[in-house]
């Protein structure tokens, strides 16, 4: 009986260490897959951000706004008498 107890006491820690090693390896593989997935998502989001910034630039262009004002809401360009020029004078602090 003492021999069986000795075998059990020697094998149990070895099995525990092996289980922990497999568990850690499985966790590392899972983290690798998650990292790869997040990198792909980041790439997609950066591409989307670039597209949205280009769309903002296009939609806010002076030429487009002027065209919409003239065509959509029927505004007219100002006559020379209606134009007001503002000049800024630099002041010393």
What distances in angstroms separate CA 1 from CA 5, 8, 13, 15, one per listed residue? 6, 11, 19, 21
Strands (E) across the chain are located at none
Residue 46 three-state SS: helix
Residue 8: band (very low, low, confident or very high) from pLDDT cuts 50, 70, 90: confident
Q: Where are the domains of the chain?
A: 2-73
Structure tokens given for 18: 């092996």
Secondary structure letter of residue 73 according to DSSP: S
Structure tokens given for 35: 């990292």
Each residue's pLDDT tens digit, 19-77: 999 999 999 999 999 999 999 999 999 999 999 999 999 999 999 999 999 999 999 99
pLDDT at 5: 82
Nearest Cα residue to 62 out of 53, 73, 52, 70? 70
pLDDT at 23: 94
Structure tokens given for 24: 């850690």
């Amino acid at each position: 009986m003492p021999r069986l107890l000795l075998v059990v006491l020697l094998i149990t820690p070895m099995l525990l260490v092996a289980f922990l090693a497999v568990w850690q390896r499985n966790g590392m593989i899972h983290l690798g897959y998650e990292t790869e997935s997040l990198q792909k998502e980041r790439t997609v989001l950066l591409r989307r951000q670039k597209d949205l910034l280009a769309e903002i630039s296009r939609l806010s262009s002076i030429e487009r706004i002027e065209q919409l004002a003239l065509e959509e809401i029927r505004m007219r360009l100002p006559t020379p008498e209606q134009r007001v020029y503002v000049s800024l004078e630099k002041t010393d602090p």
